[in-house]
Structure 1
């Protein structure tokens, strides 16, 4: 934001000292500048070994292992743009379906999309893993924001990838259903959604059938993506999950952990 302000002030000074008309940054250009300049957001470097160990493959856009996430990104963004959606929830029927790994890779793939920025929020308040998988220092996290000990700008992290920001959660939150259904979380979601028009906000939610957390927060989020683990989730678990999800807001279902040829990761 500071970079945007500087650009605008410079344009104003030029306008006052020059009779020629000056071109001000458009909203899209301003958003792009803001996405690439992190003055108030902590910037940290990621460790390639840790990413590889945790199956985070979309960080390197030149990797031949990220094509599946690029394909998923294109499909998801198309549906979201058609409906005017900017917030996406990701959940699974049960644990160990790989939803968090998929959420991270999808957010990174969206960040590589030059017209979008991606914000990944760890809303799995019972078992937060986003910050751990990325190896982020979490001296300030969503826990502090919810507890009133930090402001939003204090808890956001840029993992040294342009147009990608993470809001991590350090430790489990007690009474998570009540927290997710609170007005404070509702206001936070609305703020994250409306702050930048070009931003896609992804919320990593808990497994759908393990608690009522997802049902509590889902009405506040535009749409949802269901991650199903091949060979792990039963037909009944999938059917029960689809029963709880609003069909009109279901972007789709991802079959995860499938062995594929040509080095495809998912």
Structure 2
């Protein structure tokens, strides 16, 4: 753990990035183009409008627990950590007028998808916000499987032009929260992410409503050039570092590659320190 902290502190001093460590119970790592008609998209995201355009799928609570999706459970011992992270992220984004956030990690198995899902749920719990979670990890999409979603139409069809965005979105039974999942890996993913179709899609998702925060789950920085292909289309990025997962060199290399983008901070995930929020 010390080598991870040292690498984070070194990168912080070099880039001016604010570190955002998050801790939780050891069992639950922290924090452990087809344009849709405007009225259809609004129905998808407005909590006062019934989800007549977007299918509402009731999620299996036991499945979510097994995959460490806990932000919707306010009595869960790890949910406070996601609330804390959400508040810091939203404050920084509001200061700069940002509405799109990418989540990545140096290497695989850092828990970035878990953080992305829980953070997006936490944002949706703010009554003046709506959140949209997009699975742009086109090499190893995990958002759908983590939530237990099985969809015939997903981002795969949107990117091939055979379906509209509204057709691919789903509401997982949580108010103000919509998911745009990817069901299958996509070949030549970096080229797809750098395409004009994805650029148009990101513009549409970002600009449609001022209360919308778009959270994008991306591949690890060192896995390929996918992250670098999409980040010019995203306002800011958050990096998830798994304790004991990435080496100091890998963390430093990832920070170097992200240096020219708006890096909000680093989440130290899978921290085995005891819970300190005993007040609750």
- For the Cα contact (< 8 Å) 2:136–2:182, is it kept in 1? yes
Distance 1:152 1:33 in 2: 13
Per-residue deviation at 1:248? 5.6
State the aligned residue count. Answer: 237
Distance 2:43 2:260 in 1: 32
Per-residue CA deviations over 1:41-82 (Å, capped at 9, x if unaligned) read: 111000011001101111223433200000000000000000
Q: 3-state DSSP class of the match of 2:178?
A: strand
Structure (1 or 2) with the greater helix fraction: 1
| 2:74 corresponding residue in structure 1 | 61
- For the Cα contact (< 8 Å) 1:143–1:169, is it kept in 2? yes
- For the Cα contact (< 8 Å) 1:91–1:205, is it kept in 2? yes
Per-residue CA deviations over 1:159-192 (Å, capped at 9, x if unaligned) read: 0000100000000001101000000000000100
Per-residue deviation at 1:31? 9.2
Per-residue CA deviations over 1:109-159 (Å, capped at 9, x if unaligned) read: 111111111100000000000001101121110001111111111000000
Distance 1:64 1:93 in 2: 27
- For the Cα contact (< 8 Å) 2:45–2:176, is it kept in 1? no
| 1:35 corresponding residue in structure 2 | 47
1:166 to 179, 195, 203: 179
Q: 3-state DSSP class of the match of 1:200?
A: strand
1:192 to 205, 209, 213: 205
Spell out structure 1 runs of 4+ moving beyond 3 A: 30-33
**Could you tell which deviates more after superposition, 90-99 or 142-151?**
142-151
Higher RCO (C-alpha 8 Å, min separation 6): 2
Distance 2:60 2:181 in 1: 17
Q: Does 1:130 align with 2:130?
A: no
Q: How does 1:101-250 map to 2 (within 5 A)?
A: 101-246=114-259, 249-250=262-263
Stretches of structure 1 lacking an aligned partner (at least 5 in a row)? 6-29
What root-mean-square deviation, in Å, do the aligned CA atoms of Structure 1 and Structure 2 show? 1.9
| 2:274 corresponding residue in structure 1 | 261
Q: 3-state DSSP class of the match of 2:47?
A: helix
Q: Mark the CA change 1:33 to 1:248 in structure 2 (over 3 Å): closer, same or farther.
A: closer
- For the Cα contact (< 8 Å) 1:61–1:112, is it kept in 2? no
Larger Rg: 1
Stretches of structure 2 lacking an aligned partner (at least 5 in a row)? 1-37
| 1:23 corresponding residue in structure 2 | none
Distance 2:255 2:147 in 1: 30
**Could you tell which deviates more after superposition, 32-41 or 142-151?**
32-41
